[in-house]
Amino acid sequence: MSSPAPTAPARPRVVIIGSGFGGLFAAQRLGKADVDVTLIAKTTHHLFQPMLYQVATGIVAEGEIAPATRVVLRKQNNTAVLMGDVFEIDLKNGVVKSRLLERVTETPFDKLIIAAGADQSYFGNDQFAEYAPGMKTIDDALELRGRILGAFEQAELSDDPAERDKLLTFVVVGAGPTGVELAGQIAEMSDKTLKGTFRNIDPTQARVILLDAAPAVLPPMGPKLGKKAAQRLEKLGVEIQLNAMVVDVDYDGLVVKEKDGTTRRIESQCKVWSAGVQASPLGKQLAEQSGVELDRAGRVKVLADLSIPGYPDVFVVGDMMSVEGVPGMAQGAIQGGRYAADCIKNELKGQTPDQRKPFHYHDKGSMATVSRFSAVMSVPIPGTKKRFETEGYFAWVGWLALHLVYLVGFRNRLNTLINWFFAFSTRGRTQLAVTEQQVYARTAIGHLSELENKPVYEVEGESAGENDPQDTETPSKTDTKAS
Ligand SMILES: Cc1cc2nc3c(=O)[nH]c(=O)nc-3n(C[C@H](O)[C@H](O)[C@H](O)COP(=O)(O)OP(=O)(O)OC[C@H]3O[C@@H](n4cnc5c(N)ncnc54)[C@H](O)[C@@H]3O)c2cc1C
């Protein structure tokens, strides 16, 4: 009697959600491990968010900061990349469900690393998003570029001084690093790049306002650097308005409430929101299933090993995790992703979850650019509780160097370097193209989904009985990825 040939034990199936800093760096760390990795993300690219503002203001092209994830991971034979929006995590059965158009894919896992990041928070006023979009994705940055340049184009055509003023007033809400960088670049673009390019308007007269409900610019970087950044911005002509809380936003402007309770209106067509973050809603699912707590921004209060209670094989990293002392920055996500991957690798060598060393965040400092040749930088001094703080040219060169190091791909680094050289030495920008679809896509998609959600008779003018919306639904396909 012959016995069946022995089969090799199945390798652990590791599923990673997200291709941002947390997800990509975790996947790369597992490159040579004896596991099968499936990375699922909503986008086909890894996005280098810290340089989004340079896409929005025409300095670099979107491809330079967003390489295709499957190309980056091409040489990792143990890794598959799937495009899909994860809508369900079933912890008990170890399955992740994702959707691409109408197709639903089920991916089973033994280990799960969740790195789905965070979105913009409007603090309960989501209706502001239509008129003051945030800047989290390539779509956002391209739309913003279109809105900024479109405002100049409309102003050129207007003979009405009040309308021109409204079109040439740009408001950035939120004086954190993104708001500071964006306000500085809009000011430089109007002052330098667009100078002399219009015939009826003077782009150098554009008003750039940086608003914040807090009393300081760049609060996480401390009062000294915040003050320096504010002074530099003011030198560029940016108006800084602090203690100013936005209470309403519409197509033509916004309403601001002062500290004393009075309100005032700013007429502005182009508004950008860079205040506050809200973690991925996937955190809520984890809370419902495992009882893990969420913080006010929806971040998951993970255990010391970044796992969640009762599920030692489920890790939450990056902007989705809440760990004291770890900021929502690229380094927090990179280190968290690598740590989770290392835990998985150690278990292949026989370590058990209770033997894991707690996650330790290594603070490498923080920085923000203010304008050409000017940045602020705060780095911890090893062995002390003090920090080395500096600003100006030295910090700016440091910012450029560090961001080049973390950009993925040699060609992207080279192209970016060339674009930087061009933009900072000549003040010219190569990426000022805007398409109509970039500017109007969000509104058009919004209208389409409104139509989709309406009963068919309202759309077609027919009665509900004759045309039941249920009948028009296409059944979704379901795939099961067995790895
Ligand atoms: C404009 C801007 C500027 C910044 N500047 C700096 C800076 O200068 N320095 C710094 O250190 N940090 C900066 N940050 C913060 C830094 O980018 C984030 O902390 C970091 O990207 C977090 O990494 P992450 O992997 O947690 O999330 P992300 O990088 O946001 O990645 C999330 C991933 O999850 C995917 N995803 C989300 N939901 C789903 C879903 N349901 N299904 C499938 N996939 C999903 C997304 O497509 C994406 O691939 C900046 C952020 C922004 C927005």
User: What's the gap in Å between 319 CA and the centre of ligand 1?
Assistant: 7
The domain boundary residue, chosen from 355, 388, 417: 355
Which domain range does residue 405 map to? Answer: 126-275+373-425
- The residues, ordered by sequence, that sit 6+ positions from 228 with a Cβ below 8 Å of its Cβ are 376, 391
> Are 261 and 391 within one domain?
yes
- Residue 151 confidence class, pLDDT cut points 50, 70, 90: very high
Q: 350-369: buried (b, 16+ CB within 10 Å) or exposed (e) per residue?
A: eeeeeebeebeeebeebbbb
Q: Which residues contact 40 (CB under 8 A, 6 or more apart)?
A: 15, 16, 17, 82, 83, 84, 86, 96, 98, 107
Ligand 1 site, residue 179, Cβ cutoff 6 A: no
187/142 same-domain check: yes
pLDDT category of residue 417 using cuts at 50, 70 and 90: confident
- Interval 212-241: pLDDT, tens: 999 999 988 889 999 999 999 999 999 999
Per-residue pLDDT tens over the stretch 336-363: 999 999 999 999 999 999 999 999 999 9
Is 405 inside a domain boundary? yes
Q: Is the CB of 52 under 6 A from ligand 1?
A: yes
Rounded to an integer, what distance in angstroms lies between the CA atom of residue 114 and that of residue 234? 41
Burial bucket for residue 194 (CB in 10 Å: 0-12, 13-18, 19+) = buried
Residue 467 covered by a domain: no
**Which of 329, 406, 407 should be mutated for ligand 1, with most atoms under 8 A from CB?**
329
300 and 400 in a single domain? The answer is no
Asked if residue 382 belongs to a domain, the reply is: yes
pTM: 0.90
Q: Report if residue 67 sits inside a domain.
A: no
Residue 423 has what pLDDT?
A: 81
Total count of domains within the chain: 2
Residue 158, CB-side half-sphere exposure with 13 Å CA sphere: 16
Does any domain span residue 78?
Answer: no
Residue 53 lies in a domain: no
CA dist., res. 188 & res. 191, Å (int): 5
CATH code, 392: 3.50.50.100
Residue 82 Cα to ligand 1 midpoint, Å, equals 18
Task: Answer yes or no: is the C-beta of 85 below 6 A from any ligand 1 atom.
Answer: yes
330-348 and 21-29 helices, crossing angle to 10°: 30
195 and 330, same domain (yes or no): no
Q: What CATH number is associated with residue 290?
A: 3.50.50.60
185 and 154: one domain? Answer: yes
| 181 labelled catalytic | yes
Asked if residue 107 and residue 31 are part of one domain, the reply reads yes
